[in-house]
Every structure is written in structure tokens, then in C-alpha cells.
Chains A and B, each alone.
Chain A
Amino acid sequence: MSRIGVFTCWCGENIARTVDVDEVAKRVAELPGVRCSLNYKYMCADPGQALVREKIASEKLDGVVVASCSPHMHLKTFRKAAQTAGLNPYLVEMANIREQCSWVHHDRAQATAKAFEIIRLAVEKVRNDAALQPIRVPVTRRALVIGGGVAGIQAALDIADAGHEVVMVEREPSIGGKMAGLSETFPTLDCSQCILTPRMVEVGQHPRIKLYSYSEVEKVEGFVGNFKITIRQKARYVDVSKCTGCGECWNVCPLKRNSSEFDYGMGMRPAIYIPFPQAVPARPVIDKSQCAKLIRNGCGLCEKKCKAEAINFKDEDRLVEEAVGAVVVATGYKLYSIAKSQPKTTLAGYGEYGYGKYKDVIDSLQFERLVSASGPTGGVLKRPSDGAIPKSVVFISCVGSRDNAKGLPYCSKICCMYTAKHTMLYKHKVHDGQAHVFYMDIRAGGKGYDEFVRRAIEQDGARYYRGRVSKITQEHGKLIVRGADTLAGIPVTIEADMVVLAAAMRPADGIEELAQKLNIGYDEFGFLMESHPKLRPVETNTAGIFIAGACHSPKDIPEAVAQASAAASKVQVMLAADELTREPEIAAINEQTCAACFTCIRTCPYHAIDRAELRTPRGAFIKNTARVNPGLCMGCGTCVSVCPSKSADLQGFTDQQVYAMVESLA
């Protein structure tokens, strides 16, 4: 290439203040192969782009270097401009003389010299650029939603309503997630089930949503637009297609005293059960660890009672495959386990709060069930130990959250709000009761949120103490809560009938395994990583996989729903086209020289390289080779660096280009 145009940008004062742009343009013009060298105040502005377009046409440029900001900012802008002028967009390079030069230097002479060198490198790169074509991959126009909580429901309905098929996988027997178990929701105090169950029914009835309840994602293969998902349908022992949900089975089951998962141990359920009356699908499952028939071939009453003959004790796990183009992960959260024993060595428990030791020390989700109209106590607040109505309840926030010693330094964000809600619900149920709250800070940012907390204090009389609790003991049937009020600078001791601990939010069980299957990132606490905290908040670093809800970070219902809709709209954008275009700057393997050692396959972090065979047109075997899957490759270059035969190369960043750039500096 010998007709290169170099366009140096002032970026107003950003570059021009430290870099002598005139001097740079003059020196660049003397570089071999540079046809024209110009500078302009704002290259990215319309006149600047027009300048680029005009020069491409008038000077018949076959390569363009724009010396301005980071390619993250405006590479797309200038590639588009070049394309409009008839130049292959991959023959445009950017020299970053702002972030990597003018912003970080003070000495004008040195900065000018450095800017020239940076541009010289870019000229060398563009000289060795190839006219690449964007990659096109076909799209399966279906989506998978993992998790059937409020976020998953929202995402699934949005995508399905847009006309695409959705496969929803839910681990529990029913969709609904945590929200289905809440009593009322802040800041409006509307009944949680009343607003959620219509959405659940909609999912259950939607012609374009295929629901796999009591199922888990077993295996994920493929790449953006073309995922192959293997789903494990756990043995339910009930034939969903025959069952009518009449309820004879769970009424007749004699083993009724099993701790209910849905009630977080606050209530009981039979061995064959539906988690709650509005479950979707309203089909029971048999807990194989409790059923007498499955354990020792006894009982079998449900089978005899079932008129639909839906009970099948010989049921087994089944694996089904589904092809989808995009995935939304919405696996939600669980509460930190407060008691001393912890699932991970990085976490520690609160021995001092006596959770698990004193029956009346419960966590906030358990409290939700106790005050829920559909809860085990039928909406009457009775404490777990003796069923008495508690006249004094202490709520403690930041249990686990913001506690470095327990291993969770982050704020769980929603506890301030639901604790205020709990005090209100309590006061509305027990008029002569007194709610006490120990808090460190009140974080009530949100529409109507702070007003809500003030209402709890001013109208419903909750007593707030700014301080933590050090220890809870039990004396004469009372829980003695020893806390502090740092505003008064005094220790505070309260005799309580019940204590509710606002435990931290943690990502749901098995999130790490799922993230590894999907090849997406997660942080040290297991929360899934977004691609960019501000500009790509629902995307992951793996194309075609999106996140929504509390699996990403602690969030409340409105936020989870908003994020789910955002993820759904990203999926819709993807599924709107027949083909996906991707940037072509990915690895390519020279299959003639590949020694088939497959080191690249073992090192590729995206599992983007496969084994392949070279054959003659007649089908005779020639040799084995590695082959890049253009749908999966993210262009990281790991294969290039490990390939012993130098057969792997990165298009748009070839070894030849990099060597030429380095040599130009010498």
C-alpha cells in the first residue's frame, strides 16, 4: 500500500495543548507511502469525517490512519466513513495520541515526538492490513432463559411476545422464584403473589414458551446464534401430561411432616407436593428422599388414588436437547447462611447471633413466610418456638453484608427497604407490638423509598438504633439483644420475643458451575460479570449470553425486571436478523502448516478451536488440522502465542504487521 492518508485530530485542546499537531502532520507527510497528511480540530465531527471521505476519493487512498483518541471511542465512526467513501473499513487504523500520549504527558516537545512515533506504527500497520470481510453466522431464532424467577419471567415474556420461541429452564418444581414467597413488596405494600402469579400463568399458557420445570442445564455447546443446550429433566415421578393437578395425591400422602423448602422450614409439606397453590406448572413432584414407596417400596397410596394414572414410580432423569440462538441467565439469589457452619472457607458465620440455636432467631425470608397471607400460619404472625404472638421484635440489618470479617464486604442493597417493610407489616399485624431496628446506614435510594423508611419510623413507630448488635442470648424465654446506639454513644439491651436477621444476598447455588458451562465470568462472590459496568450492563463477555436479575448483583424487584427487559431487548436485536455479523479480527489457522499438535485447542479460553481433517475433493484423508470456529473466536490471540509451528495468526493483527511496526521503531 502506498497511498495512505493520515488525519491528525486536535480533539479541541485535548491533544493540541500538548502535541504540536502541525509539526506532527508535517513529519508524517514525509513517511514513505503517505500520500496526504492533514490535521483538523475535530476529526470525529461531520466536517472532519467529510474530510476523510473526500480525501479517500480524491487521492484514491488505499489506507487511512486517524490519529486521535482510543479506538474504543471512534474506530467505528471512521470505518463507517471510509466505507461510505468506498474503502474497505478494515483498512482504517487509529493511532491513539490522546489517552496514550497527550493526556499523560506534559512536555510538549517529547509528547509531539511520541505522537509521531505512535502514528508511524499505525502507518506501518495499515500498510500490512488486509481487506477483511465481516463474518456472518446463521442464527437460531429461539432463546433460552435460565431461571424462572421474576427476572426470568419478564425476559421470557418479552422475548416471546416479540415473536420468538423461548425455552425456560427452572430448577424448582414451580416457577416464581423468591418473589412468589414474599408477603408484600416495598414501597407500595402490594401483595407479591397477586402481582406475580398473573405473569406466571402467562408463562405457563404462552404458545411460544416451552417450560422445563424441575430441570437444570446440563451442558452447553456451540456459539452465539447456534447454542446446543442439554437439559436434565429431573425425575418427578409424576407424568405431567396425564396429571390434572387435582390434589388427591398430596391430600392422601401420609408423610405430611416434611420441612417445606418454599416456607424456608417455617411450614410442613407432604412427600408428594406442589410448593404452593398457584404453582406453575400446577403439577406435583415426589421427594424421593422422603417417599415411602421410593425408599422401601411401601405406601403407594397416591398411585392408588390418582384417577389419571399419572404417578410413575419408575420415572428417571431425562436429557433433552434444545437449539437456541441466545441465552439469558437469571438464576437469582439465595440468602447467606447465618449460622456458624459455612459452605465456603472464605466465609464465616455468626455464632454470636444464635441463629439455628434459638428457634425465634430467623432470617428475613422466613419472616416473609410468617407474615404472608398464604404462609404456614395463615397470615397470623406466630413465632416459631411456641406459636406465641411476639410483642417485641428486633430486626438486624447488615447480617453478613458489609462485614469483612465474615467475608462479604458488599452491601446487599435491598435489606434497608425490606426491613422497613417488615416493621410495617409487623405493626399492621400486631398493633401493640414494638419493632426495633439495628442499622448502620439507611440506603433508600429509589422512587418513594426514603419516604417509605420515614413512614415506618414516623407513622408505624419503628424504633431505629444506629449500631450493630454484638450478641444475642436467651434468658427466661426472652431473647436478650445486646446492641449499641452510636448516636447516643451507649450500649442498648432489648428483651425481644423474636429476632429477624436481614441476611446478605448471595448468588444461587451452583452459579460457578453454570458460569463455567456457559463460559462467562463471575466475581469472587459468585456474582456474574457484565461486559462493561456502564455501557454493556446486561451483556457478558461471551457473545449471545446475557444476564438479568440478582445473579449479577443484589437488586430489588423493579431493577431485576428492568434488567430482564433490557436483556430481552438485546436478545430481540440479535434474533431480528437471519444472520449475525461479527468483526473479522479473529484467529485463522494455516491448515497446510498446522502440525495437529492441538496445543491451541487446550489453551483456547473460548473453546473456539476444533479438530478437523483435510481431505482431497474425493474424500481421501490428507492430514489432521486445527480449525477456528468463527462464531466463537473472540480474537484474544492465545493460540497465536502457543502455536509451535506458527500456523495460527490473528487477522488484522498478524505477526507480520506487529513485526513491521516494531521494526519501524528501530
Chain B
Amino acid sequence: MENQALGQVPSEHLPVHFPSPIQVANCYQCGKCTAGCPVAMHMDVAPNQVVRLAQLGEWEKALRSRAIWECVGCQTCSTRCPKEVDCAGVMDALREASLARGMAAPERFSVVAFQKIFLENIRRNGRLNELELIGHFKLDVVLHTGRIPFLFKDAGLAPQLGKRKKLHLIPGKARDRGVVNRIFERCASERKP
């Protein structure tokens, strides 16, 4: 950790760049984010501790944490934060940085894989193709972990999904794919520091 004032680390030394509205220095560690987080009990470090690591510049710990991959992005923390720190945004930025540096927690491989495959799916089709997603995701995880039973996990849910028309056998695609591509391009360019 560099010996610099919290939140005042010059940007060239910052391994992680948060979008400008996020001010981690504003956080006074009240813990309301952790209190309201629906998945905090599954995290190795609590949401307020993730923000704390960002304040301290302990990037190594923050980027390798499992917590950032447990976050489901429900935004409860950001909504209720008394200091208006976008905690969910911090998680998001950390996930990106973690992925870019290949530091994503290995025990959360499936979460990382799911997020990647989900995005890839949207980019290709313009909307979600469930069958393709499931196939791609299961295959990826099984190839990586060798856990064959994973292939059939949740299979029992398929009829129910079908009944509720959540599983489309003939996939639809967005008509104007150019728009989808432009959305992706713009997100990518805005995210760059």
C-alpha cells in the first residue's frame, strides 16, 4: 500500500479507475450496504470492506476477492447509502479490473464464465437466447472443472421454464444488430478511464 491519503491517490498510480461520480473517500464505513445486502453472508469480505479496500488502495485483495463476484448488482447498497457512494458501481468497476488483469477468484469460475457468456450471447443475438446460453455455460464449466454432474444440475427446471414460455426453442434475434453493436461500443469507450 502506498503511503498516501485515502482517496487522494494520484490517478497514474491507481490500478483501478472508478467512473468519476464514484467517490470511495466519501464512505465513512457505516455498514448500511452490508446490512441490506442480500448476499453479504456468502461474501468473503463484506461490501463495506470491499469499499474499505478500495479506500486503502489494497487492490490485490479487492481484485482477488470472491465478494465482487457474489454481488448480484441489485443496487440496494447504492440506494440506501447515506453518503451516496455507489457501492454497486464500485463492485462493477472492480469486476472489470479483476477480469482484465486475470485476477478473478478461481473458485468463482462459474460466475465469471456465466457473466462472460451472457454478455457474449447478447452481443451476438441482440437478445438472450436461453438454450444457447445454457449449453455454452454448462459446457464451459464442465470442460474447466471436470464436474460432469453439473451438466444435469437444474435440468428438472426445464419443463417449468417451458411452460412459462421462458425457454424458446426457436431463438429470436434482434432486428437491428447495428444498434446492439453501437451500444456495446459506446459502453466500452465510456468505461475507459
Contact = CB atoms under 8 A, between A and B. Distances in A.
B31 A483 contact: yes
B125 interface: no
A198 interface: no
Interface in A446-498: 466-471, 482-486, 489-492
A419 to B, nearest CB: 15
By Cβ-Cβ distance, the 3 closest A-B pairs, closest first, are A470-B36, A467-B31, A484-B31
B17 interface: no
A486 B82 contact: no
5 contacts: A403-B82, A467-B35, A484-B34, A485-B31, A489-B48
Nearest to B40: A491
B35 A468 contact: yes
Interface in A570-584: none
B49 interface: yes
A382 interface: no
Interface residues of A, number: 23
A50 interface: no
Contact of A484 (B45, B46, B82): B46
A486 B34 contact: yes
Nearest to A406: B82
B82 A404 contact: yes
A352 interface: yes
Given A352-B80, A484-B46, A486-B46, A440 B35 contact: no
Contact of B76 (A398, A406, A468, A470): A470
Interface of A: 352, 398, 402-406, 440, 466-471, 482-486, 489-492
Nearest to B41: A491
A398 B30 CA distance: 10
B83 A404 contact: yes
B79 to A, nearest CB: 9
A402 B30 CA distance: 10
A285 B134 CA distance: 75
Contact of A491 (B28, B29, B46, B81): B46
Interface residues of B, number: 22
A604 to B, nearest CB: 41
Interface string B16-60: 000000000000111111111100110001101100000000000
Contact of B34 (A398, A404, A405, A491): A491
Contacts of A466: 31
Interface of B: 28-37, 40-41, 45-46, 48-49, 76, 80-84
A483 B49 contact: no
A484 B80 contact: no
Nearest to A485: B31
Given A471-B35, A492-B35, 10 more contacts: A352-B80, A404-B84, A467-B30, A482-B35, A483-B31, A484-B34, A484-B46, A486-B48, A489-B48, A491-B34
A476 B128 CA distance: 40
A467 to B, nearest CB: 3
B25 to A, nearest CB: 13
Contacts of A492: 35
Contacts of B83: 404-405
Contacts of A440: 28-30
Given A440-B28, A491-B40, A491-B46, A470 B35 contact: yes
B153 to A, nearest CB: 28
Given A440-B28, A489-B45, A489-B49, A483 B82 contact: no
Nearest to B45: A489
Contacts of B37: 470, 491
A469 B33 CA distance: 9
B84 A484 contact: no
A467 B34 contact: yes
B41 A467 contact: no
A483 B33 CA distance: 9
Contacts of B32: 467-470, 484
A468 B83 CA distance: 12
A627 to B, nearest CB: 53
Contacts of A406: 82
Nearest to B28: A440
Name which of B31, B48, B82, B84 has the most chain A CB atoms within 10 A of its CB.
B31
A481 to B, nearest CB: 9
Contact of A486 (B30, B76, B84): B30
A37 to B, nearest CB: 48
Name which of B34, B46, B81 has the most chain A CB atoms within 10 A of its CB.
B34
B118 to A, nearest CB: 27
A467 B37 CA distance: 13
B29 to A, nearest CB: 6
Name which of B32, B46, B76, B84 has the most chain A CB atoms within 10 A of its CB.
B32
B36 A490 contact: no
A585 B38 CA distance: 66
Contacts of A482: 35-36
A492 B36 CA distance: 10
A350 to B, nearest CB: 9
B40 A490 contact: yes
B32 to A, nearest CB: 4
Contacts of B31: 466-468, 483-486
Name which of A402, A482, A491 has the most chain B CB atoms within 10 A of its CB.
A491
A492 B35 CA distance: 7
A315 B29 CA distance: 57
Contacts of B35: 467-471, 482-484, 491-492
A581 to B, nearest CB: 49
B36 A471 contact: yes
A358 B28 CA distance: 29
Contact of B46 (A402, A403, A468, A490): A490
A483 B35 CA distance: 4
B66 to A, nearest CB: 13
Nearest to A351: B80
Nearest to A481: B35
B172 to A, nearest CB: 39
Nearest to A489: B46
Contacts of B48: 467, 484, 486, 489
A482 B34 CA distance: 9
Nearest to B37: A491
Contacts of B76: 470
Contacts of A405: 80-84
Contacts of B45: 489
Nearest to A492: B35
Contacts of B29: 440, 486
Contacts of A467: 30-32, 34-35, 48
A289 to B, nearest CB: 37
Contacts of B82: 402-406, 468
A39 to B, nearest CB: 43
Contacts of B40: 484, 490-491
Contacts of B84: 404-405
A514 B49 CA distance: 46
A212 to B, nearest CB: 41
A468 B76 CA distance: 14
